[in-house]
Structure 1
Amino acid sequence: MLHRFSRLLDVHATDPDDARRRKLLNILLIGAAVSSLAVAGLTAVVGLSNLLGSPEEFVPIYLIGGAIFVLTAAVYAINRYISGSLASTIFLVVLTLALPFTDIPQEVAAGRSLFVFVIPIVMASVLLRPHSTFIFALLGSLEIVVLALSIGDIPNLPAIIGFFLIALVSWLSARSLENALKELTLVNRELDQRVIERTQDLSDALAQVHAEA
């Protein structure tokens, strides 16, 4: 069971960094798919039991849950068979564009739901190249500016500055991790080369001993 689940997550790639990013994306996608199915299932139970409202009122939740499941399945296929960077970009862009619809505009632009824009900013640093985190900080900032102006409010400048500070920290962390992994890969390659050389030297020495005997 665990082996099959691991096969769902792992993606074969020549670049170790690319394989690591694609595996992380698969974990997020499977989590999103399971969550959407769980929410739809619980909603169905509540709706059929007539505990809250009528079943017709829950139809939008079913549609959203189904759309999320289809989207995650499509991105998973792209990630596994086509391109990890393309799949991650689609996932993060769709997620960022969907965030304004998670609450009323006032709360998204300068209220309780403002923090949700941090999620794609942090994700971008580990699913894409480290500098991509600034792109999603900019995209999130533009969204809250547009939302604020659409309701006649002043854009939340401290929040925008905070987004870019979070992007900076995420970039530094992801860049340090990437450099550390590259150095580890180089060290492993050097060790492998030394093992090959020592093995060859030992083989030559044994051949010489046998020849002299």
Structure 2
Amino acid sequence: MCAVPYCCQWATPELAADLIAGRATLADDPNWAASGALEQAEYLEWANHVCGMACLRMILLHRDGSAPPLLALARRSLSYGAYVRQDDERIKGLVYAPFVRYVGEQFALQAAVQVDMTAEQLPALLTEWHYIIASVHPSIRQPLQTPPQRGGHLVLITAAPAGQLQFHNPSGDRPETQENVTVSPETFGRFFAGRVITVK
């Protein structure tokens, strides 16, 4: 099969490093409309929360050759409860079980939530499923770091060459931390929260 296409959670992948470092804000993104946002305010509210939708979009692009924009995917998921508003109006999500229902009903994808996983188990899991959406700390873009905690961000594992883990990171800050990032299970495990959504 062809390689899994890459999708950044921000409309301008080249702006990622500046956004992460605080040298730019989402309001500086000239391509915000490409996200599928109906207006810039919607992009400003959602762009930092759609790593899971970026993973879904990559899967759909790989399977179908086309996919709805990120914010269109996010809006369609709301009736399933894949994202919820907290009391202070902040967005909470991705919520896994509703997401599984969403992708099953809307896109005929078979998906399941798996918990208490170790990074060492993921290569074998990938032989049963086509894709793994994994919860990691966003600082995985700097794999030599020790993260303050595990989880909080989603990446798409697409392959396990020679027992390594290869993934696309929707919030990578440069090409080598965005597409086809390859690390050992040991390194991945330092960032990994033990929770995944398997998809086929």
On whether the aligned pair clears a TM of 0.5, the verdict is no
Report the TM-score, using the length of structure 1 for normalisation: 0.22
Report the TM-score, using the length of structure 2 for normalisation: 0.23
| Larger RCO of the pair (alpha carbons < 8 Å, separation 6+) | 2
Over alpha carbons, which structure has the higher Rg?
1
- Larger % of helix: which? 1
- Larger % of strand: which? 2
